Chains A and B, each alone.
Chain A
Amino acid sequence: MIKVGIPRALSYYQYYPGWKTFFEKLGAEVVISSLTNKAILNFGVSRAVADTCLPVKIFLGHVISLIGKCDYVFVPAITSLGEKTYNCSKIIGLPNMVRALIPECPTILDPEINLEKGRYYLYRNIYKLGRYFSSNPVKFKKAVEEAWEGNLAYRRKMSHEKITAIQAIDRIYGEDCAPAPSLDPPEELTVAVVGHPYVVYDDYINHRLIFRLQSMGAKVLVPEMVPEGELAIAARKLVGETHWSFEDEIIGAGEYYLEEKVDGIINLAVFGCGPDSMMVSFVQHRAKELKIPFLPLSLDEHSSEGALLTRLEAFLDMVKRRKKI
């Protein structure tokens, strides 16, 4: 059976169930890389240009860790997911970056997803992708439809059940994942964590942020717990037309949770992220307007978690003291 490797990084957290369904319906076996670990980070850092952001370095590391375990590696170029919105250039050029930096990589499956170019362009790219596995176009169409449904169901599961992407994937496939923290202390506060899923859910780079917050007695809310449509409405309310893909999970989620009057809001970003540097300012200003505590956290390769803990502890102390009045 043909094996397709999917790196557990970047868009994995948004689309894994869809992609898995697609390839399996075409008769392939899906192999995913392990959770991010030191070896994966080191692989990535050793190959990437220094200026690349941490999540892309980690993606490269995941690709390297899949070498020898699969026939193809799936690295889609997600250019645009809606009218007049574009993705970060590092994501758009991801397949080319992988090809240039990891010459020993197995054949890369790199369909471009660019909704700006219309449906026909997307169908053509899916057709080209399908040809790696079958010569029957009816089969591709069926696989795409089921994949699309599967992914919508995954997204709905998160907002209906108010769970994180990790929990949702876990419930769908029963795979191993981060341990659920003990919730003995009653949750005193509600804290929203807004950020891209590949930062919020990668426990290696964020030092188990959600777990830490929960063990400090906070109820943690993430963007995926809100239906996609409502995030989009909230984002438009705050900034009007959006221009970046994945703007909703920062601006939309920020605005949504601020209106919900959470006790505090944390933005989890990575050092050097261009789109975030703009998006976060909108949320920060809005938090100030509504007088809700806001904590910006910027992550990079640092392995020491001390600095992060100090900020989290001080932030929760502040939120608790403010709530008492």
Chain B
Amino acid sequence: MKTYLGVDVGSVTTKLALIDGSLNTLASIYLRTRGNPVDMVKEGLEEIKEQMPPEAEICGVATTGSGRYLAGVILGADLVKNEITAHAVAAMHYMPDVQTIFEIGGQDSKVIIIRDGIVIDFGMNSVCAAGTGSFLEHQAERLNIRIEDFGGHALRSGNPARIAGRCTVFAESDMIHKQQMGYPIDDIIYGLCQSMVRNYLNNVALGKEIRPKMAFQGGVAFNKGIVRAFNETFDTEVYISPHNELMGAIGAAFLVKEEMENNHGKTSFAGFGISETEYKTSSFICKACPNLCEISQISVNGKVLARWGGRCDMWERIEGK
């Protein structure tokens, strides 16, 4: 059986999904990246190997997410794709009439506008990462509750507190003030959810034509408080994509399937053996010019596989490759 693997290495979590030729998801895994993308890709691959049916054969691998280049090198990916395209492709498969996709991840948030099955516009958070999963996680930590319990608290709120959401620093001082005033924790938490949705719609989605049907995906879609805030804002139901946390990985798998079928190519997948391979990542400062670029590289047994981080191509060329 022909199968295709999509790997989404995000800032906070790493997702892997294996699909068959008819686009069914056969195996998947959702892991915390914990700042260690290399080990998480290896661990995820091992997990996929255990879950996959014995007759399955991997015929294509694609990577996406902010760690896509690094993961692409380790896995020998056939395709390295940005996460906007991957998310849109997956959402359109599960919801062919979707017109708007909200995607909120750990470090970035996006809105994707689709008309007639084509991405016609998208928005992404600009300089700062306020209004993303990390913001909520940080606030949960401050309130000393688990992020998993965040949604439950928000759903119990009857009278949400108004919290400034433009900037994490402002939100935090506003929140501390509300705490000191004795607001119940449920109202503070739902107030935070509302402020985050407001911030998202006023920044990332500013000027975008948001029409139903709307899909919500990415790790933050697990948070029932944010879902409630979205539903209340639009006064309509925002659909949570099935496998919302895996959509990037699934989309990448769809794209590589399409690519491999069109090109009839043979996959460059490095094989399951990479779980055993010892990858070494290191970095150094290039002193060739005053830019002093930080070059990072990944190598196996002293052989360099790839390098990044230069402002010129000097280190990107690898001998014997």
Give the interface of A toward B (CB within 8 A): 34, 37-40, 203-204, 207-208, 271, 284-285, 288, 293, 296, 298, 300, 302-303, 306-307, 309-311, 313-315, 317-318, 321-322, 325
Q: Is the CB of A271 within 8 A of B126?
A: yes
Q: Which residues of B are found within 8 Å of A38, using beta-carbon distances?
A: 290-293
Tier of interface size on chain B: 20 to 34
Q: Which residues of A are found within 8 Å of B294, using beta-carbon distances?
A: 303
- Known contacts A271-B127, A307-B108, A310-B66: A204-B291 contact under CB 8 Å: yes
Q: Is the CB of A314 within 8 A of B84?
A: yes
Distance of A91 Cα from B292 Cα, bound (Å): 29
Q: Is B207 an interface residue (CB 8 A)?
A: yes
Number of A-B contacts defined by CB within 8 Å: 66
Distance of A314 Cα from B85 Cα, bound (Å): 6
- Known contacts A37-B289, A38-B291, A317-B84: A208-B311 contact under CB 8 Å: yes
Smallest Cβ-Cβ distance to A304: which chain B residue:
B309
Q: Is B267 an interface residue (CB 8 A)?
A: no
In the assembled complex, 28 residue pairs joining A and B whose CB atoms fall closer than 8 Å, in A order, are A34-B290, A37-B290, A37-B291, A38-B292, A39-B290, A39-B292, A203-B311, A204-B311, A271-B127, A284-B207, A288-B207, A293-B120, A300-B127, A307-B66, A310-B82, A310-B83, A310-B84, A311-B124, A314-B82, A314-B85, A314-B124, A317-B82, A318-B85, A318-B121, A321-B119, A322-B118, A322-B119, A325-B118
Q: Which residues of B are found within 8 Å of A300, using beta-carbon distances?
A: 127
Q: Is the CB of B66 within 8 A of A306?
A: yes
How distant is A297 from chain B, measured CB to nearest CB, in Å?
Answer: 8
B119 partner, pick from A296, A309, A310, A318, beta carbons under 8 A: A318
Q: Which residues of A are found within 8 Å of B290, using beta-carbon distances?
A: 34, 37-40
B122 partner, pick from A40, A298, A314, beta carbons under 8 A: A314
Q: Is the CB of B127 within 8 A of A298?
A: yes
Q: Which residues of B are found within 8 Å of A311, using beta-carbon distances?
A: 124
When A and B form their complex, which 4 residue pairs have the shortest distance between CB atoms, in order from nearest?
A314-B84, A37-B290, A313-B82, A298-B126
Distance of A306 Cα from B291 Cα, bound (Å): 18
Smallest Cβ-Cβ distance to B208: which chain A residue:
A288
Give the interface of B toward A (CB within 8 A): 66, 81-85, 108, 118-122, 124, 126-127, 207, 289-294, 311
A207 partner, pick from B118, B121, B122, B311, beta carbons under 8 A: B311
Q: Which residues of A are found within 8 Å of B122, using beta-carbon distances?
A: 314-315, 318
Distance of A279 Cα from B81 Cα, bound (Å): 33
Q: Which residues of B are found within 8 Å of A321, using beta-carbon distances?
A: 118-119
Smallest Cβ-Cβ distance to A302: which chain B residue:
B127
Smallest Cβ-Cβ distance to A36: which chain B residue:
B291
Smallest Cβ-Cβ distance to A299: which chain B residue:
B127
Smallest Cβ-Cβ distance to B124: which chain A residue:
A311
A318 partner, pick from B81, B83, B120, B207, beta carbons under 8 A: B120
Q: Which residues of A are found within 8 Å of B83, using beta-carbon distances?
A: 310, 314
Distance of A302 Cα from B122 Cα, bound (Å): 22
Distance of A321 Cα from B120 Cα, bound (Å): 9
Q: Which residues of A are found within 8 Å of B311, using beta-carbon distances?
A: 203-204, 207-208
Of the candidates A37, A271, A318, the one having the most CB atoms from chain B within 10 angstroms of its own CB is A318
How distant is B169 from chain A, measured CB to nearest CB, in Å?
Answer: 13
Smallest Cβ-Cβ distance to B313: which chain A residue:
A179
Q: Which residues of B are found within 8 Å of A296, using beta-carbon distances?
A: 126
Task: Kindly list 15 other residue pairs between chains A and B, CB separation below 8 angstroms, not including A204-B291, A306-B66.
Answer: A37-B292, A203-B311, A284-B207, A285-B207, A293-B121, A298-B127, A300-B127, A307-B66, A310-B84, A314-B85, A314-B122, A314-B124, A317-B119, A318-B85, A321-B118
Distance of A204 Cα from B294 Cα, bound (Å): 14
How distant is B283 from chain A, measured CB to nearest CB, in Å?
Answer: 13
Q: Which residues of B are found within 8 Å of A203, using beta-carbon distances?
A: 311
Smallest Cβ-Cβ distance to A272: which chain B residue:
B127
